[in-house]
Structure 1
Amino acid sequence: MFITLSNTNPDPLYKQVKDQIIHAIVTGDLKKDELLPSIRTMANELKISVITIKRAYADLENEGYITTRPGLGSFVTPINKDNLRNEKISEIRINLKEILDEAAKYYIEVEDIIKILKELKEER
C-alpha cells in the first residue's frame, strides 16, 4: 500500500488519503484506468473507517481523478497535467498572498521572502 497516515499530520485522514492518491496519479505511480483497491479493502489495510475512504474516493471522483463504475470499482481517469499545473499555481498564489499579508504585519519585505525561497530551493 502506497498510503501512509500520520496522527501528527493536522489534515483529516480522508484528506491524507486523497492527497496521497492524487500524488500517486500525478507522479505516474498510478496509471490511467488503473483499478484502485476497493473502499473496504483500503479501509482494512489502513485500519481506518470505511466512511473515511468513502469520503476520500467521493472527493477524488468529484475532482475528476477517479471514476467509479458500479460493480467494477474505482479507476484512475486520465489527467491533463497542464490544467493540474495551472490549478496548483493558483493555489500557490493564494498561499503566497497570505504569506505576504502576514509578513507585512511584521515589516518583512518581499526581498526577504524571495531570499528565503532561494535558500529553500538550494536546500532541495
Structure 2
Amino acid sequence: MTLLPNEWWPTALLALVLFVDAAMSIRPPQFIRDCLAGVNFPREWWWTLIVIKTLAVVGLIAGIWMPGVAFAANVGVIVYFCSAAAAHIRARNTGQAFWINCLGMLALSIAVLVLSLTL
C-alpha cells in the first residue's frame, strides 16, 4: 500500500468543499454564526476553524502526490467533524445545521477516505 489516493478526484472534491467552507467562515453567513453560537464556541476562537480547514485543504491537495499526507489530512478532517458532532450533541443543538452541515460533512469525509483507498 503506497498511501496515495487511487483516484485523485474524491480528495480534490473534499479539498474544494473545505476551501469553500473556510472561505465562507471569513465572514460567516448567519447559518454558520448560528451553528457556532449554538454549540457555545467562543467568537474570539472562530478564526482557528479557518486555519484548521485551510491546513486540511493544503494537506489534501499535497497528499495527491505525497504518500500518506492525504490520508492523514482526511483522517484529521474526520476527527474534526466527529468533534463537531460531539459538540452539537453535548450542547443539545441537533437541528438542521447538525444533520445537514455537520453530519453531511462527516459522511463526505468518510466517503472520500473509503473511495480514495478502494477505487
User: What TM-score do you get using the length of structure 2 for normalisation?
Assistant: 0.31
Name which one, 1 or 2, has greater alpha-carbon Rg: 1
Higher strand share: 1
Which structure is richer in relative contact order (CA contacts within 8 A, separation 6 or more)?
2
Structure with the bigger percentage of helix: 2
